[in-house]
Structure formats: C-alpha cells, structure tokens
Amino acid sequence: MQRVDFHVLPSAETRERLHYACRVVEKAYLAGQRVLVWFDGVVDLQTFDEMLWTYSAGSFVPHEVLAGEPDWEDAPVWLGAAHPAPSACDVLINLAAAIPPAADRAQRVIEIIDADDGRRQAGRARFRGYRERGVEPVTHTIGAAAS
C-alpha cells in the first residue's frame, strides 16, 4: 500500500517551505531513494533547482530537471512540472496545488504544506483526494525549529 504523509509547517513563507523540501530531498537521496519533486510551474521549479545547489554549504544533491532528455534515468533526483517522470520513483515530494500525475507510481508521497491560506486549502483538497483513492494520509505537524 502506498504511503502519503502531509508535513504541515507553521510559517507561510515560501522560502522556508522550499528550504524544508530541500532537507527532505537530501534525506531521501542519502537513503538511496529515487526522488521526484513536483511543481505547478517552471518558475517555482527553477527557484528550487537553484536552492538545491545553495541551501546548505556542505550538501550535494545531484538532480536533473525533467525536460524530455533520456539522461533522466541516471539522476537520483528529478524536478518536474510539465514532463512526466519516465519511470516510478520511491518518493514523490509534491509542491504543487494538485495531486501530481505520477502519484500513483510512487511508493511514498510527501505533501509539504505551509500556513499560506491558499496552499492550506489546496492541501485539504489533496488530502480528500488521496482518501478517495483509498489511501489514508498521515499528518505531521512540524515545529518552528524544524522548518
């Protein structure tokens, strides 16, 4: 059975949400998992792409932007917004407003929700959507020190 976790952050700051997502991506990568991070659009994807290179001085997370190139299969972390992932992934981290098209092919989905009203409402809709798919999501409230 697929696992879906909602990580709920106390801040409404987009940058803090993306920084937290970088930490989750790095943890999954270091555990040897293939990761897909999904976005609504290219602007958010590009911001996150740059942030993955710079968010922590001692970290390195090799990643590729999904853009139709065959070398996607070689990257342990994919960033996508329009092009679907070429194969299943271990962890899908959703930073988009809707349930990603690849959600059914991921072993685990991590939804990162912050205190922004619009993102909270979209998160609640996704929570219901997963339940309608027969998955019971688990919610984790993340404290201010973890974000």
CATH number, residue 27: 3.40.50.10110
Q: The whole model's pTM is what? A: 0.91
Q: Classify each residue of 54-67 as buried b or exposed e, where b means 16 or more C-beta atoms within 10 Å of its C-beta.
A: ebeeeeebebbbbe
Query: Percentage of residues in the chain with pLDDT exceeding 70?
Result: 93
Q: Which helix (H) or strand (E) holds 110?
A: strand 106-113
58 — pLDDT class (breaks 50, 70, 90): confident
Please state, in angstroms and rounded to a whole number, the distance separating the CA atoms of residues 49 and 140.
Answer: 25
28 or 66, higher pLDDT: 28
Please state, in angstroms and rounded to a whole number, the distance separating the CA atoms of residues 93 and 106.
Answer: 10
Please state, in angstroms and rounded to a whole number, the distance separating the CA atoms of residues 87 and 11.
Answer: 33
Q: Which two tokens stand for residue 117?
A: 């009203």
Q: How many domains does the chain have?
A: 1
CA within 13 Å, CB half, 90 = 13
- The answer to whether 77 touches 24, Cβ cutoff 8 Å, is no
Give me the domain span that covers residue 51. Answer: 3-146
pLDDT at 59 over 80: yes
Which pLDDT score is estimated for 23?
95
User: Mean pLDDT throughout 24-49?
Assistant: 95
Average pLDDT for the chain: 90
